[in-house]
Amino acid sequence: MPKRTSLTADRSSLRHRIRYAMRHPERIGPYLRRSARDMRLRLTHRDHVSYYRAVMASDTARDPRRAVGSRNEKRWLALGRMQFDYLTGHGLKPGQRMLDIGCGNLRAGWRFIEYLDPGDYYGIDISPDILIAAKKVLSERGLQHKLPHLTLTHDLTFDFLPEHHFDVVHAHSVFSHSPPQVIDECLAHVERVLAPGGFFDFTFDRTEGAEHHVLREDFYYRTENLIALAERHGLNAEFMDDWEELPHGQSKIRVTVPERDAKA
C-alpha cells in the first residue's frame, strides 16, 4: 500500500509544508508553479466547480492520465482494475445500471462499460476536456457498441436523471477534491436516483485530525463527519474496512437507503 502521510497531519499548515519541503526539495518548484496557477484560476473562477473545471482543463492538456491522478499508463491501468475488482466483488453485476460520478477519462469506466449490458453505464463529469479524453479511450477499447452515456454536468443534483434508476452509484476520487457543500449537495440528492436496494460508494482523503484542504484542490475529511452528514440526509453509511487493505491512499464509505424508506 502507498505510504500515507500521518492521518493526523495538517497538510495545509506552514510547519508541515516546510518540513515536507526539507524532505523533498525537488518538489518545491512544481508546488510553487501549482500554487501560482491555482491562485490565478481562483481569481478568474469564483465558484468551486468552475475553478476545478479549469484545473482539469490545465491538467488534461498536459496529460489526461495524470489529470486523474495516475503518474503513468501502468498505474492508470492498475487503479482502474482495483476499482473494478472491488466493485464487482462487492455487489455490481451485469444487468444493473451504474452512475459513475467523476468518470474522468474512463480509468475504471471502460472496464465497467465492457462488463455491463449496453446502455447501462452512465458517466458524468464537470470537465469537457476529460470527457473528450474519455471518448478517445472508449474508441481505443472498441466499446462503441456498448452505448455508454458520457455527460457534462455542473453540479451533483442529478436533476436530469430519472428517479430510482441506478443500482450502483460510484464516485472515486471526487470528494477528495470537493468542499463540504458539494458533498452535502450530492448526499442530499443521491437517494432520488438510487434504485431500491442500491448503494452509493465514494472515496475520500481521510484525516483523524482537523479537516483541511490544500490549495482548494485536495480536501481531507474525518470519517465520522461524513457518516454523520449522510445520516442527516436519512441515509445509512458504512466505512469499508477491506478497501483499506488495497494499494490506494484514499478511504471508502458505502451509503444505502434504509429499507423502511426505500421507494418502489
Residue 99, pLDDT score: 98
- Are 203 and 143 part of one and the same domain? yes
- Are 138 and 167 part of one and the same domain? yes
Residue 94 forms part of a structural domain: yes
Tens digit of each residue's pLDDT (9 = 90 or more) over 169-191: 999 999 999 999 999 999 999 99
Tens digit of each residue's pLDDT (9 = 90 or more) over 89-127: 999 999 999 999 999 999 999 999 999 999 999 999 999
Q: CA triplet 244, 250, 251: central angle to 5 degrees?
A: 55
The kind and range of the H/E element at 47 are none
Cα end-to-end distance, the chain, whole Å: 41
Q: Determine contact, residues 9/209, Cβ cutoff 8 Å.
A: yes
Please tell me the pTM assigned to this model. Answer: 0.87
Length of the chain, in residues: 264
Total domain count for the chain?
Answer: 2
Closest among 227, 138, 133, 223 to 187, alpha carbons compared:
227
DSSP for 118-135, please give it.
TT-EEEEES-HHHHHHHH
- Are 17 and 69 part of one and the same domain? no
Extract the residue ranges of the chain whose pLDDT is less than 70: 1-6, 14, 20, 65-71, 260-264
- Are 172 and 99 part of one and the same domain? yes
- Are 144 and 218 part of one and the same domain? yes
- Are 53 and 36 part of one and the same domain? no
Residue 7 forms part of a structural domain: no
Residue 262, pLDDT score: 46
Tens digit of each residue's pLDDT (9 = 90 or more) over 204-215: 999 999 999 888
- Are 230 and 169 part of one and the same domain? yes
Residue 3 forms part of a structural domain: no
- Are 38 and 166 part of one and the same domain? no
- Are 33 and 151 part of one and the same domain? no
Grid cell of 192 as nine digits: 432520488
Domain range spanning residue 176? 48-261
